[in-house]
Amino acid sequence: MEPRRRLRNPTLYEIYPRSFRDTGTTGEGDLRGVADNLGHVRDLGVDAIWLAPFYCSPMADGGYDITDHRAVDPRYGTLDDVDRIVARAHEMGLGVVCDLVFNHTSCDHANFRAGIDGDEDMAARYVWRDPKPDGTAPNNWLSFFGEPAWTWNHKRQQYYFHQFLRCQPSLDLRNQAVQDDHHETVAFWRDRGVDGFRMDAITSYLFDESMKDNPPATPEVKDRVSGAPHNPYTWQDHVYDMLPGDGAAFGGTVREWAGPDIWLVGENNSGNRAVEMSLNFTRDGRLDAAYTLRLGEIAGTARGIADTIDAMDGRWIAPWWFSSHDVARHVSTKGDGSARSAKFYALLLSVLPGAIMLFQGEELGLPQPDLPREVVKDPHDLIYWPDGPGRDGARVPIPWTEQRPNRGFSRARDTWLPMKWDAGASVAAQADDPDSVLTFYRRALSLRRAAGFAAPDALSAHAEGDVLRLDINVDGQAWQAIFNFGDTPVPVPTDGVERAVALESGQLPRFGAVLARA
């Protein structure tokens, strides 16, 4: 086995296996498709891959409803396929980061079913509570999707708690048996050579055992709750159903299980307090990094980027990202769907400090597909159709070639989500095109590594209206990066330019950017 990759401020490439590449004829991606195409990821210039869940799952929530954390879902392959990915990645100089979903399981998990059938030890691993005298739920808590966080089970004559879908019952992480099981899971994948873990929904791990009602959210509180304003979840002040401070302390327990050399990153959904929380999650002996859902929300403004940099105060512990499997593609939501806006965000991401995270297809400049309701499978999208988060659109399989009908993704007649990419969107079409988005990403990430932008000696951010200016110093070399988010062209210096997007006669139009040696 190749030695483990020690990750520090890495550039991560998220792979959603179901949509990456299908080596069979199922219309769904598989782990062999990941292993066989790591060369594309290596050539992009990233440091590691983040593998979204490939564990056994009924797939009610895209694989985040798990029945066995230490087994591979047969639709994706086998444990041997995971070992092959790890070995191949290490041969190519890439690390492997796996998802850990410790907040909940699937309702089909054997332990949950046993608890329903009367095994009290198994029931104690989850959060069961008696109804109020009038038969209603124990309190007013809402799930992240805006529905009641309690579901009645007639066999136990109790409600069970779930912070997400009703098919995702929350675990009681204070239960020693639950902790022991999670410890075994960490050891299992660590011993197979995995280099890091992404801790899903870590701010939701623990709750106040008093079970008090959450108070209504004031306008100020609403601004710090992650979620769309039409989602009732944002109307509560979540002071009792989630205790991020306790979750941060639990991160120290995970660190003890993983050891000092495993890179740990948490998903933080604490709204405009997210950077503050991430600083707590990454105290000594805890996680290496904690990315925030807030970054995806503010990525379209100069002020949002500048304020976040200021809030970190030189501790680059919150990885930057613009797209993921959980949100619509940023080229359409923050940009205008054009190659120019894709390159604009590529250059911005490449100069930001700390770790950064790319989502598969981002390097191709893929826009957000417009899917008809009848093909959408994601429950979050369906609850708020047509105003959902667009998760299924982000998960449409990526195009590898120009060959119709499935663009090299699969030999199946139909893919699990329909693919209607424009001509020229594929890896094959862009790989040797000097003006393509893919080529731009490769060059931008190569410069990021060579210049050392992940760990600057000094960085200051300035937002003036819709214009963001970053002054960066690394190893005695000064850099200046300017990004125009607005409609009004702005004049910029043209000396020492290393990378530029739409720079014309010393002017930057909307989604124009320049990076220069100062």
Whole-angstrom CA distances from 380 to 62, 165, 188, 233 are 11, 9, 31, 13
Q: Does 514 have pLDDT greater than 90? A: yes
Amino acid in the structure at residue 429: A
In 3D, which of 70, 66, 75, 32 has the Cα closest to residue 189? 70
Pair (260, 389) in one structural domain: yes
Mean pLDDT for 274-299 is 91
Pair (71, 121) in one structural domain: no
Pair (388, 473) in one structural domain: no
Q: Can you point out the beta strands (E) in 28-145?
A: 48-51, 55-56, 68-72, 95-100, 128-129
Which residue range(s) make up the domain with 120?
Answer: 110-161
pLDDT tens-digit series, residues 455-508: 999 999 999 999 999 999 999 999 999 999 999 999 999 999 999 999 999 999
pLDDT tens-digit series, residues 164-220: 999 999 999 999 999 999 999 999 999 999 999 999 999 999 999 999 999 999 988
The reported pLDDT for the residue numbered 402 is 98
Q: Is residue 187 within a helix (H) or strand (E), and if so which, with residue range?
A: helix 176-190
The CATH number of residue 478's host domain is: 2.60.40.1180
Q: Does 63 have pLDDT greater than 90? A: yes
The secondary structure of 202-257 as a DSSP string is: GGGS---TT-PPPPBPPHHHHTTS-S-TTSGGGGB--SSS--HHHHHHHHHHHHHH
Question: Quick one: pLDDT band at residue 374, thresholds 50, 70, 90?
Answer: very high
Q: Does 223 have pLDDT greater than 80? A: no
Pair (387, 495) in one structural domain: no
The CATH number of residue 155's host domain is: 3.90.400.10
- Please give the order of strands across the beta sheet that includes 263-268: 289-292, 263-268, 196-199, 95-100, 48-51, 11-15, 356-359, 320-321
Would you say 425 and 339 are in contact if contact means Cβ atoms under 8 Å apart?
no
Confirm whether 63 is domain-assigned.
yes
In 3D, which of 306, 347, 307, 308 has the Cα closest to residue 511? 347
pTM: predicted TM-score of the whole model, two decimal places = 0.97
Pair (58, 157) in one structural domain: no
Count how many domains the chain has.
3
Pair (116, 98) in one structural domain: no
The reported pLDDT for the residue numbered 269 is 80
The reported pLDDT for the residue numbered 4 is 72
More confident residue, 226 or 54: 54
% of the chain beyond a pLDDT of 70: 99
Q: Does 272 have pLDDT greater than 60? A: no
Question: Quick one: pLDDT band at residue 5, thresholds 50, 70, 90?
Answer: confident
Which are the contacts of 211, defined by CB distance < 8 A and separation ≥ 6? Answer: 129, 138, 139, 240
Confirm whether 215 is domain-assigned.
no
Mean pLDDT for 42-65 is 98
- Looking at 389, 413, 448, the residue that finishes a domain is 448
Look at the alpha carbons of 437, 439, 442, 447 in this order and tell me if their dihedral is positive or negative.
negative
- Looking at 429, 448, 467, the residue that finishes a domain is 448
The CATH number of residue 279's host domain is: 3.20.20.80
Pair (303, 404) in one structural domain: yes
Confirm whether 424 is domain-assigned.
yes
